[in-house]
A and B are shown apart, each in its own frame.
Chain A
Amino acid sequence: MTSPSSSTGTAHGVAVSFQEMHRWYGPVHALDGLSIDIAPGEMIALLGPSGCGKTTALRALGGLDEVDAGRILVDGRDMTHVPANKRNMGIVFQAYSLFPNMTARDNVAYGLRLRGIGSAARRKTADEMLDLVGLGQQASRYPHQMSGGQQQRVALARALAIQPSVLLLDEPLSALDAKVRRQLREEIRRLQIMVGITTLFVTHDQEEALAMGDRVGVMSAGRLEQIAAPAELYDRPRTRFVAEFVGLTNRIDGTADGGVVRILGTVVPLLEGSAQSGQVKALVRPENVRLARAQDDGTARVAAVSFLGSLCRAQVTLPDDTLVVAQMSAAEASDLAPGTTVTVGVVPAPVFAVAD
């Protein structure tokens, strides 16, 4: 097997920098001072709800949308006002974007044709790229003869064939069913690491973002709330939005004082940015909630148990009618059933708390 980097020529990615970018659509401030530094070869996943500005940021980097203020640097070069067709960036779109009048091979070769590459070399490179995404046998098929997953693979091959400086993925998996999506995201990540290309990946799917990104940036209302490695983002959210948006959280009453909060009888350290005193709602992950089967003196009652394969989630009603979700292994949940009386505690892992 030939190394993909020898074909794509992008063994070393380039640095990308968003500097104080602003974009208005009428009264809507789609990008509100967005600044991100992406290291060479790094994959950044931008995560956020619809309308948070993540796709606007990606399109601005690709040259498909203008920015009203701020700068975009790629490998130290100011690309802010360079037209899309001069940026040399590969983009895979959310919608199927293969040219319907061209075969898979012609689609992949189109960017090379625009660069004046001879037909034999074009064909060779296109076939190599199709092999890379596992579709070497589909080269003569038209888009309407391929499944959605295959079309997105061809789109990925087409984006990589031009040896782009940066790869932009605009929710490329969202139109696919769950099984294909999971498979393809692993393939994309594998190829990205193999090629070593700097990549910006936009998604509203938390699982996708946490699974694929070297770092994950969470956006809200045009601003970057936090950017960090997936584990840090999950375990140490810095803002209320991140704490509530990423992963499941329980909102449990507590009393904060001096950098700690007392919840369900346990004293737990508070994360930076939390409310520091008074009555608070502590945002506790389900896996940090502990249940113990009790006899008659239990303080809570199991409302429902959901089986998730190797894991189980139990919904528990506290005496004050607060609903708490606890996550545990299937073995631990074996003696839990709706109506079971339990005591509820939390692991003393740092939590984020918001004023009640």
Chain B
Amino acid sequence: MTAPQGTSLGAAAPGGGALLSQPRPRGRGRRRRPGQLVARAIVLVVVLGYLVLPLFAMVEFSTRGDYGTRSLGSYEAILSYPNLIDGIVTSLEIAVLTVLGMLILLVPTMVWTVVRVPRMRRVVEFLCLLPLAIPAIVIVVGIGPIYQWMGQHLGAVGASPLTLALIDIILVLPYAYRAIDASLRSIDTATLADAARSLGAGWPRTILQVIVPNIRGGILSASVLAIALVLGEYTISSLLAFNTLQVVIYLLGKRDPFVSVAVSFAALVFAFVLLFVISRFAPGAVHRGQQTIEEPAA
């Protein structure tokens, strides 16, 4: 089938691509005065120093050997502590469960709220941000009896440290909500959902095939934040007597501070690598529906 005779629509095809490659005009605002550059450099140095100095101190401390030498012995010793390996594995498992639980709970809820009951958006936002205002000790005191009951009645499952994911899902909600909400606001979620449904998609397909691919950036950000929070969570794990990575690091610090700092540094490097991989390979905000070319001539 070809375009009908007489139509002028076909002529619209070329031209758009050329406009895409046009460079952006640079305004006067792009030029910086020398004073501004110096101020920026100072700020950059201060910030980098604030961030890098502790890391440098950790490396310096964890690589101290005998008689003023340098050694990787503390890093090699990590593998010789079974509790530490167990703590790492447990924390990673909790992180995975937390991410899955958070996404399963949050994404459909937020999409449904935006599409079907937008007046509830504020309520959902309030509920998701609430954990920010509740201290960890209050959460533990409140939820402690539930964990006690689970330990007594649900056997090994109830006593597993993996149940910490239930609390961690709540703790990550404020950060995950913000990340996903920003992505949902960047697309016309309601119209995309209507379009998908009119074409024959049910709600699961609409969310999985149309909405999720277009908020992938937000989902990845939420997942990274969740992983970072779980790997760094100490208070609740400790108070509920579960041996997660941070708890083991703390205990190890009392016995062998060099290995403890080596593990902390390794965990930070792991988080940095994870962030880098995700930011490098996650899709950018390029397909966000903004109109980037002008109407072609008729």
A143 and B289 contacting across the interface, CB-CB below 8 Å: yes
Does any Cβ of A come within 8 Å of B153's Cβ?
no
Main secondary structure of the interface of B (DSSP, over half): loop
A85 and B201 contacting across the interface, CB-CB below 8 Å: yes
Residues of B close to A136: CB separation below 8 A: 2-3, 10, 13
B7 and A187 contacting across the interface, CB-CB below 8 Å: yes
A1 and B2 contacting across the interface, CB-CB below 8 Å: yes
A85 and B197 contacting across the interface, CB-CB below 8 Å: yes
Which segment, of B60-68, B88-96, B168-176, B290-298, faces chain A? B290-298
Interface set, chain A 149-165, CB cutoff 8 A to B: 149-151, 153, 155, 158-159, 162
- Chain B residue nearest to A148 (CB atoms) is B291
Does any Cβ of A come within 8 Å of B139's Cβ?
no
Interface set, chain B 263-298, CB cutoff 8 A to A: 286-296, 298
Tell which of B2, B194, B288, B290 touches A131, judged by Cβ atoms closer than 8 Å. B2
Residues of B close to A168: CB separation below 8 A: 198
- Chain B residue nearest to A7 (CB atoms) is B1
A336–B201 Cα distance when bound, in Å, is 62
Known: A1-B1, A187-B9. Contact between A147 and B296, CB under 8 A? yes
Does any Cβ of A come within 8 Å of B256's Cβ?
no
A88–B197 Cα distance when bound, in Å, is 10
B residues contacting the other copy or chain, number (CB 8 A)? 44
Give the distance to chain B from A116, nearest Cβ to Cβ, in Å. 10
Does any Cβ of A come within 8 Å of B46's Cβ?
no
Residues of A close to B80: CB separation below 8 A: none
Interface centre among A63, A85, A96, A155 (most CB of B within 10 A): A85
A97 and B295 contacting across the interface, CB-CB below 8 Å: no
A340–B198 Cα distance when bound, in Å, is 59
A131 and B3 contacting across the interface, CB-CB below 8 Å: yes
Residues of B close to A1: CB separation below 8 A: 1-5
A-B contact pairs, 27 of them (CB 8 A): A4-B1, A62-B194, A62-B198, A63-B197, A91-B198, A93-B194, A96-B188, A97-B195, A99-B196, A100-B287, A101-B214, A111-B199, A114-B200, A132-B4, A135-B12, A137-B10, A141-B16, A144-B286, A145-B16, A147-B16, A147-B293, A150-B12, A159-B198, A162-B199, A180-B295, A183-B298, A190-B4
Q: Which B residues contact A (CB, under 8 angstroms)?
A: 1-5, 7-10, 12-14, 16-17, 20, 187-188, 191-192, 194-202, 205, 210, 213-214, 286-296, 298
Q: Which A residues contact B (CB, under 8 angstroms)?
A: 1-2, 4, 7, 62-64, 83-91, 93, 95-101, 110-111, 114-115, 128, 131-138, 141-151, 153, 155, 158-159, 162, 168, 176-177, 179-180, 183, 187, 190, 194
* CB-based closest 4 A-B pairs: A134-B9, A111-B199, A2-B1, A100-B287
